[in-house]
Amino acid sequence: MTDRADPFRRLPLRRLRVRGASMSPTLSPGDVVLVHKVHTPKPGDVVVVTWPHRPGQLSVKRALYEAGGGWHVVGDLAAHSTDSRVLGPATVHGVVLARLWPRPARLSR
């Protein structure tokens, strides 16, 4: 597998650009966020995840609860989100700490 199996293989922090509207209004397409690798997110955290059915495709979602060996995660804008309601539990790779661009801000729950 490539780096995408563990996007934080080399460093505990990573910048990512958000694609899609599933996390609106919290995050918008084109926002750049700072992500920190953690082992156990907390419910309400905005997280970076993958699903077994979509290997290597990172998604930004909100963690709700641990479920079935992973986390049940959803987008803030449900009508525009493909998430655990369709794909099942996700593997969490990191927690989004802040939006770096275009409007720097710490993310709160």
Burial of 38 (0-12, 13-18, 19+ CB in 10 A): middle
Give mean pLDDT, residues 83-92. 95
What's the confidence (pLDDT) of residue 70?
A: 94
pLDDT per position as a tens digit, 19-45: 999 999 999 999 999 999 876 799 999
Mean pLDDT score across all residues of the chain: 89
Comparing C-alpha atoms, which of 54, 55, 48 is closest to residue 71? 48
Q: Per the structure, how many domains does the chain have?
A: 1
Provide the whole-model pTM.
0.89
Coil/strand/helix, residue 13: strand
What's the confidence (pLDDT) of residue 1?
A: 27
Task: Tell me which residue range forms the domain holding 70.
Answer: 3-106
Bridge-based pairing of strands 32-36 and 91-101 is antiparallel
CATH number of domain containing 50:
2.10.109.10
